[in-house]
Structure 1
Amino acid sequence: MQVWLYVAGRPATTARQLVHLAEAVERHGFDGMLVASSTNDRWSSMQAVARRTRRLRLGVLLPPSALTSPERIAAAAADLDRRSAGRFELALAATRNSPEPNRLPPLPEGFSRLDETLAVLTGLWWTQPGERFTFTGRYHTVLDSPAITAVQQPGPPLIVSGSGRRTTSYLAARWADEVNVPFRGLRHTARQYWDADDASSHGGRLHRGRPPLRHSAAVTVHSDPDLCARHPPSISDEDETLAGTPHQIVAALHEYQSIGTARVYLRLPDTAGRRHFELIARQILPALHPAPTPPPPGPPYSC
């Protein structure tokens, strides 16, 4: 299971602070770092992160309010993918303000906008060089646009993140490479994985031959070795936080792995400091990333 650090978007965080954090995340062996941003101001900061890291995969999570111009997002994501030598992934948050529909489609307005945004992003990335892309929708229109080329083909991996079991699963199955269930607990996460797989099997994947939809979850972890064992970590639908000793946290994350979670995003509490981060990195991460088993010794050397 891949382990990423989830960084909540704080406007006061400077590019230099984000770079220092990314360097520490890479040094401790995390697979990636996902930065949630309320605006598009993180693109320049992530470019600095891309220059200062070598192995770490990088991601930006954008809310619906930041999706006003899919063409600009497609160009910015492709540029960051080139600057990072193919290490960038784009996540879009699927949130809603109205009750979920009983059937899919049609979709509420917010999801219709996101559906068109994903259509434009993939259209610009998946169009062959030298060809043109045109899209006319209710909310977005692109006329005769050239293809936008990234290092990763056909484009940077797309993540659809949301807790709506029906619509989020439909959008992820149709357009994305990964469905992410953020902060909803084990049982809800397992049910949403099933819904996403069901949507994929019923024609949600637009292009045949695409790889299966990857499953991921975002969880808040609060670990303290001084916590008493009578306070086990919460893995229910009602509490998004895994709180307990490092051993208890690892056991809970293995539960997520057992339901098919291929990647987990760990969010630290807002009050967490450097000591908490290093505790997670040194006692929890190695248990999820076991050292490879050395090959068995060969036969004795002889002439």
Structure 2
Amino acid sequence: MRLRIFTEPQQGAAYETLLAVAKAAEDLGFDAFFRSDHYLKMGDVSGEPGPTDSWVTLGALARETSRIRLGTLVTAATFRLPGPLAISVAQVDQMSGGRVDFGIGTGWFDAEHTAYGIPFPGLRERFERLEEQLEIITGLWRTPAGSTFDFEGRYYRLAESPALPKPAQDGGPPVLIGGVGAKRTPRLAAAHADEYNVPFHQAKDTAAAFDRVRAACREAGRTKPMVYSAAQVVCVGRDEAEVKRRADAIGRAVPELRENGLAGTPGEVLEKIGTFRELGAECLYLQVLDPHDLDHLELVAAEILAKL
């Protein structure tokens, strides 16, 4: 089981804070540093100093780290045109020496689109645009050097694209698709994803979502292995008082976190991680909601990561 650190910078984190978390994650032995792709805070927090762009951040971290993988959970397809996005991700992959994983989704938070003047079409159109983006981005990355790429879709048209730059990873970074939709998400994952992620659901719902994607892979005749993963908020303490202190710091109640996340003592969290492993999860994204609490990462590394 691989453990990855996952941050939510729109809730309030400057680049320097994210850099400290990424370096700590690398030094402590975690597999990756991921961040969300949002431009507006959620809930009762200030959000200061304001949003940071995910791919600008990851490009900088690519030069400040040497081992951990870097990625988004997940990039919103509504935020960027597919051609420029393919260029940005390929460049960060080059800058990191081939350490990028590319998560992408439809985008869902309408308020952030309104706040920054980004068009927000209906759900059906967003899924249609996402599918075209996946075909374009992976098509650009996989076009042989010296050849050009063309695409004619409902929403996007590319003609004689030189399909440059190429990512460091042959064929492009692994593609991650997440969500728990019953029909469109499994089909898209089976067709395009290297990894399928279920975010913030209990084990029984995660199992059902995994099964839907497995069925979609069989129906599509897919033979390439799929990586299955989950994202869970993490709140670990050596004792009950420390668990409560960390829960209070992120504005959550301990019973709710125990039910819906990875919360409690290291022993409790290890047991729950075992449950996800039994479902077929190979990787867990630990959502760290207090990026200033680096002691939390040290505890998780020493008492959980070291024992997996």
TM-score (norm 2): 0.80
Secondary structure at the counterpart of residue 152 of structure 1: coil
Q: 1:150 to 1:134 in 2, by over 3 A?
A: same
CA contact (8 A) 2:150 2:159 kept: yes
CA apart distance, 1:108: 2.0
Q: 1:269 to 1:17 in 2, by over 3 A?
A: closer
CA contact (8 A) 1:70 1:120 kept: yes
CA apart distance, 1:200: 1.1
Paired position in structure 2 for 1:183: 200
CA apart distance, 1:7: 0.8
> 2: distance between equivalents of 1:62 and 1:204?
28
Paired position in structure 2 for 1:264: 284
CA apart distance, 1:17: 2.4
Paired position in structure 2 for 1:119: 135
Paired position in structure 1 for 2:113: none
More helix by share: 2
Secondary structure at the counterpart of residue 71 of structure 2: strand
CA apart distance, 1:278: 2.1
Higher relative contact order (CA 8 A, sep 6+): 2
Paired position in structure 2 for 1:79: 91
> 2: distance between equivalents of 1:20 and 1:46?
13
CA contact (8 A) 2:7 2:289 kept: no
- Please list the CA deviations of residues 28-51 of structure 1 after superposition, one character each: whole Å capped at 9, or x if unmatched: 000001111225823222222111
Equivalent of 2:161 in 138, 142, 145? 145
Whichever residue aligns with residue 220 of structure 1, its letter is V
Secondary structure at the counterpart of residue 147 of structure 1: coil
CA contact (8 A) 1:34 1:59 kept: yes
Secondary structure at the counterpart of residue 65 of structure 1: coil
- Please list the CA deviations of residues 107-147 of structure 1 after superposition, one character each: whole Å capped at 9, or x if unmatched: 82221111111111111111111111111111111111112
Equivalences for 1:242-253 in 2 at 5 Å? 242-253=262-273
CA contact (8 A) 1:161 1:180 kept: yes
Q: 1:14 to 1:38 in 2, by over 3 A?
A: same
Identify unmatched segments of 5+ residues in structure 1: 98-106, 289-303
Identity of aligned residues (%): 34
> 2: distance between equivalents of 1:43 and 1:271?
19
Q: 1:271 to 1:235 in 2, by over 3 A?
A: closer
- Please list the CA deviations of residues 60-97 of structure 1 after superposition, one character each: whole Å capped at 9, or x if unmatched: 2212432x301111001111111111101110134669
Q: 1:32 to 1:256 in 2, by over 3 A?
A: same
Equivalent of 1:90 in 94, 102, 111? 102
Paired position in structure 2 for 1:34: 34
13-22 vs 39-48, which deviates more?
39-48
Equivalences for 1:1-303 in 2 at 5 Å? 1-10=1-10, 12-38=12-38, 41-60=53-72, 61-66=74-79, 68-94=80-106, 108-148=124-164, 149-203=166-220, 205=222, 211-227=224-240, 239-270=259-290, 273-288=293-308
- Please list the CA deviations of residues 156-204 of structure 1 after superposition, one character each: whole Å capped at 9, or x if unmatched: 1110121213221111111111111000111111111111111111126
